[in-house]
Amino acid sequence: MALRIYDTLRRDKVEFTPVNPNEVGMYVCGMTVQGPPHVGHARAALSGDVIRRFLQSTGRRVRYVTNFTDVDDKIIERAAEEGIDFRAVAERNIAAYFRVSDALRIHRADYYPRATEHIPEILTMIEELVASGHAYPSNGDVYYRVDRFGGYGKLSGRRLEDMRAGARIDPGEAKENPLDFALWKAAKPGEPSWKSPWGEGRPGWHIECSAMSTKYLGRTFDLHGGGADLIFPHHENEIAQSEAATGQPFVHFWVHNGMVNLTGEKMSKSTQHFFLAEEVLSEFDPETIRYYLLSTHYRSPIEFNRERLAEAGAALRRLKTALESEQRVLAAAGPVERVPSEASRQARSAFHEAMEDDFNSARALGHLFDLARDLNRAADEGAPAGEVTDMAATLREMADILGVIWEGKGDELAFPEEVTRLAEAREAARKDRNWKMADELRQQLLDRGVLVEDRPGGPLLRWKPRD
């Protein structure tokens, strides 16, 4: 089997062959930092992260770029409202983005280019487009001449004639065609601006992605990702800009993730709040959120609400518990060598096949559960410790590709002295067969958020899961 990826442009899964066999180039649209990141941003970043992790797990090197659009109307508006510099607004939201992406263990990109740091590259590209007739200056703005690019509409499946009807022109815009879009916007008084051949101004929304992706990944690169809502106009315009400027195909595979919907709960102040990534992070384990987001294929829309998240937490716990089976076996058997097991071999192969089929993490997760069951059973039935270890190791390897099952977070074992004392008292009561007292102490522990499981090797304490 070979890796097949669904390409939005071709509307089909196509076998992946890299532009450069030594390194895969990948660009994922980050956010316009006009506000704090929401769950949708998290999903886009996470989808890209898993694609990257899987590619790397197959031995491919990946050059990964995620941008920040750090100047736009809303950022400027926001800054004016608060009476601060627009950079402060951008900086604040970029910091929040990193808090969220780090919490979800999204690997850092190789580059995080920002629009304001690439004005020269942007100006160069616009000048090329003007020189070739693909763009034209008008009253200090520069517009892209949509008619001039034959492929316009190919990504989103639109035809210029169809779009014309709904188009409108804002007052003050001097466009030849209502569908032309701004590459450069003349600055209004008081707005942040940069010098250009057409006067003081700032870049339009789409041009920076064309300029920056080309700078870091070349004129043609492998994968370009982002939310499905970016297909039009953002990505359509990127294609128009880049291919007109370079004369080369822009991107081999367009990978778009589905939207996150907030259904099941009525739209209200609190649900809107819940949509903010950091709000959700304050309520659920990041591990659970990550697992949940990956339990649906990345291209499908996903509903986001507390019930689903709670279920995800329960499912994830099952996986983590399976890993504890190994510890139980190892505690009895001592250190052992890995002995390849049939269960591992099968799981690994099925997992790989699922991921090669357009990064089907949902299907791949199913194989994690299959292996978890095999592992539990092997441990229960007293299978050779070497095989049990092999299964656990395989489970970890697969989980690491998806970035789920976080072990050793350090908080599992740290219990206040009071808790330890209660647990000891309960053990003493159990030895005396004073079940009433033992159960009472168990309840007291639970009141402090600690669960007790009486296992063969002694009681196991664990924090009651939050979700």
Question: Do the bridges between strand 450-455 and strand 458-463 make them parallel or antiparallel, or are there none, so unpaired?
Answer: antiparallel
Nearer to RNA, 196 or 296 (CB): 296
Q: Which of 90, 309, 322, 398 binds RNA (CB under 7 A)?
A: 322
Task: Note whether 303 binds RNA by CB under 7 A.
Answer: yes
Helix axes 385-402, 342-356, angle to 10 degrees: 10
Task: Note whether 169 binds RNA by CB under 7 A.
Answer: no
Tokens 């466009």 identify what position?
175
Tokens 């081999």 identify what position?
252
The window from 100-108, 112-120, 340-348, 367-375 that contacts RNA (CB under 7 A) reads: 367-375
Strand locations in 289-419, DSSP E? 302-303
Distance of CA 268 to the CA centre of its chain: 25
Distance in Å, CB of 73 to RNA, minimum: 8
Distance in Å, CB of 455 to RNA, minimum: 6
Task: Note whether 261 binds RNA by CB under 7 A.
Answer: yes
Task: Note whether 321 binds RNA by CB under 7 A.
Answer: yes
Q: Which residues contact 392 (CB under 8 A, 6 or more apart)?
A: 322, 323, 325, 326, 375
Nearer to RNA, 131 or 174 (CB): 174
Q: How many Å apart are CA 83 and CA 201, to the nearest integer?
A: 21
Q: Which of 98, 111, 194, 369 binds RNA (CB under 7 A)?
A: 369
Written as one letter, the residue type at 100 is: V
Binding mask 202-221 for RNA (x = CB under 7 A): ---x----------------
Task: Note whether 94 binds RNA by CB under 7 A.
Answer: no
Distance in Å, CB of 464 to RNA, minimum: 10
Q: How many Å apart are CA 85 and CA 277, to the nearest integer?
A: 25
Question: Do the bridges between strand 221-227 and strand 201-203 make them parallel or antiparallel, or are there none, so unpaired?
Answer: unpaired
Binding mask 2-31 for RNA (x = CB under 7 A): ---------x-----------------xxx
Written as one letter, the residue type at 312 is: A
The window from 104-112, 330-338, 385-393, 438-446 that contacts RNA (CB under 7 A) reads: 438-446
Distance in Å, CB of 119 to RNA, minimum: 18
Q: Which of 301, 340, 382, 457 binds RNA (CB under 7 A)?
A: 301
Q: Rule CB under 7 A: which of 237-256 touch RNA?
A: none
Tokens 């199913």 identify what position?
366
Strand partners, 453: 460
Q: Rule CB under 7 A: which of 22-81 touch RNA?
A: 29-32, 38, 40-41, 43-44, 74
Q: CB of 69 within 8 A of CB of 33?
A: yes
Q: Which of 435, 446, 449, 464 binds RNA (CB under 7 A)?
A: 435
Task: Note whether 454 binds RNA by CB under 7 A.
Answer: yes
Q: How many Å apart are CA 171 and CA 178, to the nearest integer?
A: 11
Using a 10 angstrom Cβ sphere, with 0-12 exposed, 13-18 middle and 19 or more buried, the burial of residue 1 is exposed
How many binding residues for RNA (CB under 7 A)? 79
Task: Note whether 156 binds RNA by CB under 7 A.
Answer: yes
Q: How many Å apart are CA 68 and CA 80, to the nearest integer?
A: 20
Distance in Å, CB of 94 to RNA, minimum: 13
Q: Which of 232, 283, 348, 463 binds RNA (CB under 7 A)?
A: 232
Distance in Å, CB of 292 to RNA, minimum: 8
Nearer to RNA, 259 or 393 (CB): 259
Give the other-Cβ count within 10 Å of 150's Cβ: 10
Q: How many Å apart are CA 220 and CA 243, to the nearest integer?
A: 9
Tokens for 142? 């520069």
The window from 86-94, 194-202, 404-412, 430-438 that contacts RNA (CB under 7 A) reads: 430-438
Nearer to RNA, 79 or 452 (CB): 452
Task: Note whether 173 binds RNA by CB under 7 A.
Answer: no
Task: Note whether 453 binds RNA by CB under 7 A.
Answer: yes
Task: Note whether 380 binds RNA by CB under 7 A.
Answer: yes
From 401, 55, 44, 59, select the one nearest 255 (Cα to Cα).
Answer: 44
Using a 10 angstrom Cβ sphere, with 0-12 exposed, 13-18 middle and 19 or more buried, the burial of residue 311 is middle
Q: Rule CB under 7 A: which of 111-150 touch RNA?
A: none
